[in-house]
Structure 1
Amino acid sequence: MRHYSIWLKKHDSRGNQILNDLQSYKREVMEIKDKIYDKDLILPIDAEQDHEIDPDFRLCFVDGGESNKELLGASVYFIRASALLWKDQTEFIRDLDMGVIDYDEHTKERVELLRGAMEFDVAIRSVELKTPPTHIFLDGSLHVNAKKRQIKGSEYGMYRKKLVRLMKLCREKEVSLVGVSEDSTSRLFAHYISALCYIELPKFMTDSSILRMLTKDRCVCYRTIQFTPYSKFASELDEDLVVSFPTVYVQPTPLSNPLRIDVPEWEQNFDGIINLVLKLSKGSRYYGYPLPLYLVHLDVKIGPKLSEWNTRQLIHFISREDPDLYDAILRSSRKDMRF
């Protein structure tokens, strides 16, 4: 228990100081609360209002999952993506892949790019159907997807190419492309408020934390005003494709986290899409997340047991076919053997 007593002493000496620092940040936000409401930047919504889904809508929900395991000198990755087509009957478009890449500081980002490219690919396949969907909902922000930073390797080029193709197809076939995320780290709305109201918000506070403070005791369910992040996405494949992404935060139920919804600038019915997300979020036991997106998330999830099983299958195959290769690069390290 000795180390606990040391920590308790530090809690006694530092706890109040940390609390005072956090309360000072809170006061800074609360001081601008009335100013923000006077500008109608946050608008209450009626959570009880039932928005009907147009029977002609054909909805598609896309998500992906990933897992990678470090071995001696390499990383084995597994990725999966699904598109749930939802109208009278449900149908899945699925894809998955696995591979080995060199292990370095960018391995996780490279696997994420591979997974993202696969998500865009299954979305493209749904748009190319004889009867394409009217709406495609991607798990994740379009703005964030478009602003992924470039890293060395072929993965980034493939990712960007798939994203550009998806955006062009959706614009050409008039399919509404929507990004939905339970955002917890973004500061886009904070930057927007700072520029509009000539104020400075605490740098470490995210949009979600600021919205929770501002809406407490004011409105249970709300949406923000539509705003557009300042940076734009310029396609390397077509200089004419320069896109901004209008964005709205929505809290669809009292217990939910704020949902970040964004669309390409050519979308003509953003309010209708917001109402559609509100309707889809009411059936979720996860308190305000579109239920079909959650079902797709379950479909693509690669849990630890599945990841471990896949890794063993791959290692057994390679060790049987080429023992020398297995001994060189695919052996487990001593760290992996610890109990």
Structure 2
Amino acid sequence: MEARNTEEHVIEVTGLRRVYGGGFEAVRGISFHVGRGEVFALLGTNGAGKTSTVELLEGLAPPSGGQVRVFGHDPHGERDAVRPRTGVMLQEGGFPSELTVAETTRMWAGCVSGARPVDEALGLVGLSRKSGVRVKQLSGGERRRLDLALALLGRPEVLFLDEPTTGLDAEGRRDTWDLVRSLRDNGTTVLLTTHYLEEAESLADRLAILHRGRIAATGTPEEVTAAQPSRIVFRLPDGWFVGDLPPLDRLGVTAHEVSGGVVRLQTEELQRTATGLLVWAEQAGVTLHGLDVRSASLEEAFLGIARDAARETDGTDGTGTDHASEGVAA
């Protein structure tokens, strides 16, 4: 997916910090921007600072340092200029359990200027058939759909989605992805947090990976994954061994391992390595069983970046082992 060309930064974050009582710094001077009509994903492990950042963008609290601007305004200090143009889907909504889905949506619409018709909002998220059902009878996934319907009531120019597909089944998740793409294609700017890396890879024009309150990597999904090695996996026939392959360094292999007869190669030059391997196999008359050639996934990039960031910040190998205390360069 190519980055979208935008003329306006709808969201601008500069040196943003958030410090909680007791001095815990959840967000440590991050900067990024989001263009009009762009889907931007914030990724990170639990405690990385995603929700703390989104809450500042939504204007729920003032930053401890740095600056946030949405449509050029301070979302906390100039709430009246920002809030009518944004939609917010929190991780968990609180609804009166005895009201029906339609009654809940109608009540919420009364607080929104120029709200969509209730039937339209529920139709967007696939809840039309549940309009007469009480909220307490909804499944967890259906409640997430209702959360999204309420966030869309005001036809927002900017939509904040905090873990939007948690609790949804595979079909519901795909439907939500299609809806987000449709909103994006019609000019809505979407900022989302998600633990589903496939979701970010599928939806995001650009993304940022947070680690301990700092941005560890940012760019398009392709740019982020390109920084990680690709891999080739195969099984050699009986009687053939890794030592029979051409010299691995000549193939551009940066690391390899053999486990249970399965060979795993890592490379930063996937085409060169794959071509050299296949030419050798053809000339040697060797069949590479179960051959799997692929670039790094966002999940692999995410895990690699998290390990590298942990190593840089605490002197460990990313698993909690303090090599510095063992006399090993970290």
Whether the TM-score (by the shorter chain) exceeds 0.5 is no
Ranked by relative contact order (alpha carbons within 8 Å, sequence separation 6 or more), the top structure is 1
Q: With structure 2 as the length reference, what TM-score do the two structures score?
A: 0.29
Q: With structure 1 as the length reference, what TM-score do the two structures score?
A: 0.28
